[in-house]
Structure 1
Amino acid sequence: MSQPALDAIRKRITELDSQLLSLLAERRKLTNEVAETKIANHIPVRDVKREEQLLVRLIKEGQEAGLDPHYVTQIFHVVIEDSVLNQQALLAARANPGSSLPLNRVAFLGDKGSYSYLATQKYFSRRPGELLEMGCQSFAEIIQKVEHAEADYAVLPIENTTSGSINEVYDQLQHTELSIIGELTHPIRHCLLVATNTSVDKIKTLYAHPQVFTQCSHFLAELGNVEVKTIDSTSSAMLTVSELQRDDVAAIGSEAGGSLYGLSTIKSNLANQKENHSRFIVVARNPVNVPLQVPAKTTLVMSTVQKPGSLVEALLVLRENGINMTKLESRPITGNPWEEMFYIDVEGNVQDGPVQTALASLKNITRYIKVLGCYPSEEISPTKVAAAKAITG
């Protein structure tokens, strides 16, 4: 194929890409209009049956056009998720008049390029107002920024699919009056990042946050004689390697973060689990009102009376009210040896009857209980269709 012919094809591809973007923008605008109708008529955000019908039709039309069903499914999972999250954000904004700020000051761990930075960018991309990023060096500093009104929000990692719960964050939540107002799950793709044209066998020193080393322990074992240096954030690790400009040092972080520091990737997928995700929470000084049309989570903290079976008794309250518990974490109570505080995430809204009934019952059988926040759930489960149904339509 001649160069002019290739250029003509590429020009046409570029034109089609621009058309796709315009159509996606128009589709998003229409789904926001749908959200207005749902607000007026108190209709739930998600209509799983309609989503399934839509996906079946699109897969069938895609097959007729020569497109692979898996390809079509992947594309529209992203489109549907975007639609749901945007509608949820719109409903939440309407339920909290006056909460939208012209400038969102957000505190997070590390600096530009850290995973908390990327999560912050992702979460606030759906919120109105400009974003002012405030990198911090510790979880305590992050909390203090919001408590002292130096920041409006904080984004905190709470758990990871590989390394588990981040206990220091739970301990901070035990002593703050801030409320959880949101959550998001962000994929964590660890890469080996270097500042020079080097190779893995030349690396003698490796910089990363302690959580990162835990998540990549299998890779570290394979490296052998390499000095591991822990550092306060992923962004600090990348900055250090960028400043050193040596072929025997590397950092572990994201490819997107590394590019901000002029680093290149020489090895990817370093985590022990290939499906490696971190869950982040967003906290603020005041709680939010979550519309009943929006799937919600509630996080509470409690301590039970010191008698056998007290925790089981508390958990039975949730079952009796049909409430699904998604997380149970215990942490020691500072100053009270052998006593624990329990953090619980449940699916449900504090404005809903079953959750209200459960909370009232728990108050009667626990020594201490407090709702840390009720917030929109942003864990959007993909729309599922049976393979046979998709083929037959």
Structure 2
Amino acid sequence: MSSTELEQLRESITALDSQLLGLLAQRQKYTNQVAETKIKNRIPVRDQTREEQLLVRLIKQGKTQGLDAHYVTQLFHVIIEDSVLNQQAMLAAKANPESVLPLNRVAFLGDKGSYSYLATQKYFSRRAGELLEIGCQSFAEIIKKVENNEADYAVLPIENTSSGSINEVYDQLQHTHLSIIGELTHPIKHALLVNQNTEIGKITTLYAHPQVFAQCSHFLAELGNVEVKTCDSTSAAMLMVSELNLANIAAIGSEAGGLLYGLHAIKSNLANQKENHSRFIVVARNPVKVPLQVPAKTTLVMSTVQKPGALVEVLLVLRDNQINMTKLESRPITGNPWEEMFYIDVAGNIQDGPMQQALEELTATTRYFKVLGCYPNEDISPTKVAAVSALAD
């Protein structure tokens, strides 16, 4: 194949890509119109029966055109997830018109390129209004920015699939009046970032956030005698490597973030768990209303009376009201040795009958009880098509 023929093929592909973007934009407009209908008629956002029927039809149609069933499934899982999240954002905006701001001032950990920065960009890309980024050096500073009305929102990492819960954030939630109004899960892809072309064996010093070092402990053990230096954020680590401009130093962070500092990756996928994700919460001064047709999650904080079986009584309240608990976390109560504050995430909306009954019972059962927030559940589980393997044959 000559270079001219190759260039012509590439131009044809580029033209098709442009058409695909146009079709995806047109599809998004239709799904937004569907959201308007759902708002008027109080129809749930997701209809997984219809989603499965759609996927089966598309898999069969793709097969006739030589497309692999798993490829079609993965592609439309992304499209469906984007559609669901956009519809949920529209419904949330309709239910909370006072929260639609021309400018969203958002505080987060680090600076441009940090994982919190990337999560902030992702979450607010679906919200109306411009984004003003406010980088901070600590979780306490982030919280204070919102409490003092210097920011409208804060984005905080709460847990990671590799290193677990971020205890410092839970401790901050124990002492603030802010409400959780949203969440998102963001993939964390750690890479070894350098400023100069170098080999891994020549690196003597590594910069990263302590959580990153914890998530990449297996890789660090393989490196051997390398000095690790902690930074307040991944962006601070990348800035340090960029400014020092030495061949024997590196940072661990995202490839996308590294590009903002002129760094490039010499090794990727450093985390102990290859499926490495962080869950972030979004907090604000006032709570939000979650429409009943949007899947919701509620975060509770409580302390129990000091007697045997006190926590079991709390869990029985959830069970008896058929409420699914998705997370249970305990943290020491400051100033009260050996006493714990319990944080519980449940699937449910505080406007729903069973949840209201459970909250009433929990208030009576516990020594201290508070709803930290009820917010849309943005963990969109892919619709499973049982017949994918059969359809692929």
TM-score calculated relative to the size of structure 1: 0.99
Tell me the CA shift for residue 389 of structure 1: 7.5
Amino acid at match of 1:366: T
Tell me the CA shift for residue 229 of structure 1: 0.5
Q: Tell me which residue corresponds to 2:160.
A: 160
Q: Tell me which residue corresponds to 1:176.
A: 176
Tell me the CA shift for residue 98 of structure 1: 2.2
SS in 2 for 1:339: strand
Q: Tell me which residue corresponds to 1:97.
A: 97
Amino acid at match of 1:242: S
Q: Tell me which residue corresponds to 2:204.
A: 204
SS in 1 for 2:286: coil
Taking the aligned partners of 2:216 and 2:68, their CA distance within structure 1 comes to 34
Q: How does 1:184-333 map to 2 (within 5 A)?
A: 184-333=184-333
1:77 counterpart = 2:82:
no
Taking the aligned partners of 2:118 and 2:2, their CA distance within structure 1 comes to 42
Tell me the CA shift for residue 5 of structure 1: 1.4
Q: Is the 8 A contact 1:56 1:390 kept in 2?
A: no
Taking the aligned partners of 1:325 and 1:31, their CA distance within structure 2 comes to 31
Q: Which moved further from structure 2: 209-218 or 1-10?
A: 1-10
SS in 1 for 2:302: strand
SS in 1 for 2:145: helix
Q: Tell me which residue corresponds to 2:131.
A: 131
Taking the aligned partners of 1:115 and 1:391, their CA distance within structure 2 comes to 39
Tell me the CA shift for residue 380 of structure 1: 0.1
SS in 2 for 1:146: helix
Matched residue count: 393
CA deviation vs aligned residue, 1:189-246 (integer Å, no higher than 9, x gap): 0000000010100000000000000000000000000001011100000000001111
SS in 2 for 1:94: helix
SS in 2 for 1:181: strand
Tell me the CA shift for residue 8 of structure 1: 1.2
Q: Is the 8 A contact 2:350 2:374 kept in 1?
A: yes
Q: Is the 8 A contact 1:60 1:390 kept in 2?
A: no
SS in 1 for 2:269: coil
Q: Tell me which residue corresponds to 1:57.
A: 57
Compared CA separation, residues 7 and 324, structure 1 to 2 (3 A)? same
Amino acid at match of 2:142: I
Q: Is the 8 A contact 2:68 2:392 kept in 1?
A: no
Taking the aligned partners of 2:388 and 2:179, their CA distance within structure 1 comes to 46
CA deviation vs aligned residue, 1:99-121 (integer Å, no higher than 9, x gap): 10000000000000000000000
Amino acid at match of 2:6: L
Q: Is the 8 A contact 1:299 1:373 kept in 2?
A: yes
CA deviation vs aligned residue, 1:315-370 (integer Å, no higher than 9, x gap): 11000000000010000111111111000000000000011000100111100100
Amino acid at match of 1:166: I
SS in 1 for 2:99: coil
Amino acid at match of 1:195: N
Tell me the CA shift for residue 289 of structure 1: 0.4
Q: How does 1:363-374 map to 2 (within 5 A)?
A: 363-374=363-374
Tell me the CA shift for residue 258 of structure 1: 0.4
Q: Is the 8 A contact 2:107 2:133 kept in 1?
A: yes
CA deviation vs aligned residue, 1:20-73 (integer Å, no higher than 9, x gap): 000000000000000011011100000000000000111111111001111111
Taking the aligned partners of 1:95 and 1:125, their CA distance within structure 2 comes to 19
Taking the aligned partners of 1:11 and 1:191, their CA distance within structure 2 comes to 33
Taking the aligned partners of 2:8 and 2:27, their CA distance within structure 1 comes to 29
Q: Is the 8 A contact 2:69 2:388 kept in 1?
A: no
TM-score calculated relative to the size of structure 2: 0.99
Tell me the CA shift for residue 9 of structure 1: 1.0
Taking the aligned partners of 1:211 and 1:112, their CA distance within structure 2 comes to 18
Tell me the CA shift for residue 388 of structure 1: 5.5
Amino acid at match of 2:252: I
Q: Is the 8 A contact 1:56 1:389 kept in 2?
A: no
CA deviation vs aligned residue, 1:53-94 (integer Å, no higher than 9, x gap): 000111111111001111111110000000000000000000
Taking the aligned partners of 2:387 and 2:197, their CA distance within structure 1 comes to 47
Q: Is the 8 A contact 1:59 1:390 kept in 2?
A: no
Q: How does 1:370-381 map to 2 (within 5 A)?
A: 370-381=370-381
Compared CA separation, residues 14 and 388, structure 1 to 2 (3 A)? closer
Taking the aligned partners of 2:390 and 2:88, their CA distance within structure 1 comes to 28
Amino acid at match of 1:348: G
SS in 2 for 1:337: strand
Taking the aligned partners of 2:73 and 2:298, their CA distance within structure 1 comes to 31
* RMSD of Structure 2 on Structure 1 (CA): 1.0
Taking the aligned partners of 2:93 and 2:338, their CA distance within structure 1 comes to 43
Q: Is the 8 A contact 2:69 2:392 kept in 1?
A: no
Q: Is the 8 A contact 2:63 2:392 kept in 1?
A: no
Q: Tell me which residue corresponds to 2:20.
A: 20
Taking the aligned partners of 2:71 and 2:199, their CA distance within structure 1 comes to 35
Tell me the CA shift for residue 392 of structure 1: 8.3
Amino acid at match of 2:278: S
